[in-house]
Amino acid sequence: MSLYKKMHDVMCETEAIEKKVEVGWGKNAYKAVGEKEVLNMMKPLFKKYGLIMFPIEMNPVDRVDNFHTKDGESSRLMTQVSPKFKLVDIETGEFEIIASIGNGVDTQDKASGKALTYSLKVALQKTFMLFSGEDTDN
């Protein structure tokens, strides 16, 4: 079976993915698709079809934002990554390069990890057409 046939079969075995994660707080809170939901859906299918996916490029860009709060000065790091992931069929060696993007914000050292997590989640959602059941154009 070719890589593209396996990708198609994975798409055929997936449906909508639920927004179960509450992000933010107060009037800025919203529901989102979590990494756990995406990976729990995709990992068994990757195992079944002999697919692996891993980052091969990152291209990080960091930005430090300094701002005033009611408690004084604060700063946070925003990292944007534009990774390329390699999707490989372990039986044939066929592969496809999947480009993505992700931002991560943290006040300590986790911005790059958050950005990579988000970019992998987006790459899987868009490559395998995992819709959230919500029309994002609204």
The pTM for the full model equals 0.85
Q: What is the dihedral of CA 57, 55, 64, 75, to 10 degrees?
A: -170
pLDDT bin (cut points 50, 70, 90) of residue 133 is low
pLDDT digits (tens, 9 = 90+) for 23-74: 888 888 888 888 999 999 999 999 999 999 999 998 999 999 888 888 888 8
Q: Is the dihedral of CA 75, 119, 26, 37 positive or negative?
A: negative
pLDDT value at 136 more than 80? no
pLDDT digits (tens, 9 = 90+) for 89-112: 999 999 999 999 999 998 888 999
Question: What is the rounded radius of gyration, in angstroms, for the C-alpha atoms of the chain?
Answer: 17
Note the pLDDT of residue 95.
98
Name beta bridge partners: 57: 84
